[in-house]
Amino acid sequence: MRVRELSTMNDIFISYKREEQPAARRFADALEKEGWSVWWDPKLRAGERFDDVIEGALKESKCVIVLWSAGSLQSSYVRDEATYALEQKKLVPIVIENVDLPFRFRRVHTLKLLNWEGSSDSPEFRKLVHDITEIIGARVTKQKKPRASIQSPRDMPQSSIKSDRRKPGTIFRDTLKDGSSGPEMVVIPPGTFQMGDIHGIGADDEKPVHTVRIRVPFALGRYQVTFDEYFKYAKLTQRELPKDEGWGKGRRPVINVSWKDAVEYSKWLSAQTGKPYRLPIEAEWEYAARSGGKNEIWAGTSDEKRLADYAVYSVKQTSPVGSFKPSRLGLYDTAGNVWEWVVDCWHKNYDGAPADGSAWLQAGGGDCGRRVIRGGSWGTSPRWLRSSARDRSNAGGRNYFIGFRLAQDIP
């Protein structure tokens, strides 16, 4: 058997059933933030053979995490991977659903992370970090230099910052004053597009369709701002903590935040990082949601049968950010999960709208007491998830349908 040579040994391999991909993503993201390299099957490249690459990654990894669920118990692949890891003494089993384990694993100590939403501060996750460290040794976050795409700008040469920050698709995170990381940001390229109801299926407020030129690259949040991220700000500034409606916090998008709350958070983050964070401009938001002004109806697709692969909608609550597929620009949840605040004041249509990608404020009769929201939410139908669909809400109001993501100007 030929196995692709791995350039470096991975710290951790995650074994799971495909239906548990959202849970696997949460673990992979959290463990990579701890400083470990993590392999799981979305890292397969087009054209690679599943069996060869997975077997190679499994053998090369120092530790194997198995996510036990009703689905994974029925998977011969997961059971075989767990058996191999147990024999090699590098198994860390995790129960993510209340299930009866296979016979040979019943006497193996197994961590319980039921309903874990991705919080790195939970006692259960800290126990997981401890157990992994016991197998593969101490983390090397402070010793090895992170990849350039997520390296702190304060640790990079100024020329490198300028280059990376303007390269489309670059993912970066800025460093806060306490050394922690800010939200993940994606660089969006400049371009020209037709903004509004280009498919002729929208409302009057999406008309007239007009040409908009985004002149310079900008960065947009890869995910909607989460409870974890917002709570850190709220606690440090002694602000009211928004309610989660009993759905859970962690990596779920923060809700019950007003437009004014979102603006204050962006100002705080700017002061913490020295970078110009703000809310997105409405034209920027639509341009990015449509993968750079493409003719997609929804973020990622124009096929309603595939919308459920990309969006959280027509359900009873939010989902953790990044639970579904990203758009072609690498953005998650630009359709569904929560409506997102943008900078612009509300205008009843696009008569007189700017053509240069700037924010539309009071000019042309704008109502700045109400601000535009975009993207639809967990409770809305596909019609409202269209990338050109728009709505508005009171700038000082809060509800459980609305959250936000951030933008950043790139010098």
Peptide bond preceding 208: is omega within 30 degrees of 0, i.e. cis? yes
In angstroms, the CA 255 to CA 25 distance is 22
pLDDT reported for residue 146: 38
Question: Is the distance from CB of 247 to CB of 318 less than 8 angstroms?
Answer: yes
- How is 122-147 classified by DSSP, letter by letter? SHHHHHHHHHHHHHH-S--TTTSPPP
Q: Which distant-in-sequence residues (6+ apart) come within 8 Å of 31 by Cβ?
A: 12, 38, 132
Backbone angles phi, psi at 394, to 5 degrees: -60, 130
State pLDDT tens for residues 198-215: 999 999 999 999 999 999
State pLDDT tens for residues 62-107: 999 999 999 999 999 899 999 999 999 999 999 999 999 988 898 8
* Range list of β-strands (E), 268-312: 277-278
Fold that domain 12-136 belongs to in CATH = Rossmann fold (3.40.50)
What residue segments make up the domains of the chain, in order of their start?
Answer: 12-136, 148-409
In angstroms, the CA 32 to CA 393 distance is 37
Residue 335 pLDDT grade (very low, low, confident, very high; cuts 50, 70, 90): very high
The secondary structure of 24-91, three-state, reads HHHHHHHHHHCCCCEECHHHCCCCCCHHHHHHHHHHHCCEEEEEECHHHHCCHHHHHHHHHHHHCCCE
Taking residues 373-380, what's their average pLDDT?
Answer: 96
Per-chain mean pLDDT for the chain: 88
Taking residues 181-210, what's their average pLDDT?
Answer: 95
State pLDDT tens for residues 2-54: 333 333 467 899 999 988 888 998 998 889 888 888 988 776 666 667 777 88
In angstroms, the CA 407 to CA 182 distance is 12
Q: Which of 75, 19, 65 is nearest to 40 (CA)?
A: 65
Which range of 16-30, 181-195, 352-366 scores highest in mean pLDDT? It is 181-195
pLDDT reported for residue 372: 98
Q: For a pLDDT cut of 90, what percent of the chain falls above it?
A: 69
Question: Which three-class secondary structure state does DSSP give residue 193?
Answer: strand
In this model, does residue 1 exceed pLDDT 60? no
State pLDDT tens for residues 237-291: 999 999 999 999 999 999 999 999 999 999 999 999 999 999 999 999 999 999 9
Chain centroid to Cα 180, Å, comes to: 17
How is the beta sheet containing 38-39 ordered, strand by strand? 38-39, 12-15, 63-68, 91-95, 111-112
HSE, side-chain direction, 13 A CA sphere, residue 300: 21
Tokens of 301: 């697709």
CA dihedral 153, 190, 407, 296 (to 10 degrees): -130
Residue 55 pLDDT grade (very low, low, confident, very high; cuts 50, 70, 90): confident
pLDDT reported for residue 6: 37
| More reliable by pLDDT, 407 or 59 | 407
pLDDT reported for residue 290: 94
Residue 139 pLDDT grade (very low, low, confident, very high; cuts 50, 70, 90): low
In this model, does residue 147 exceed pLDDT 80? no
In this model, does residue 134 exceed pLDDT 70? yes
Q: For 148-409, which CATH class?
A: alpha beta
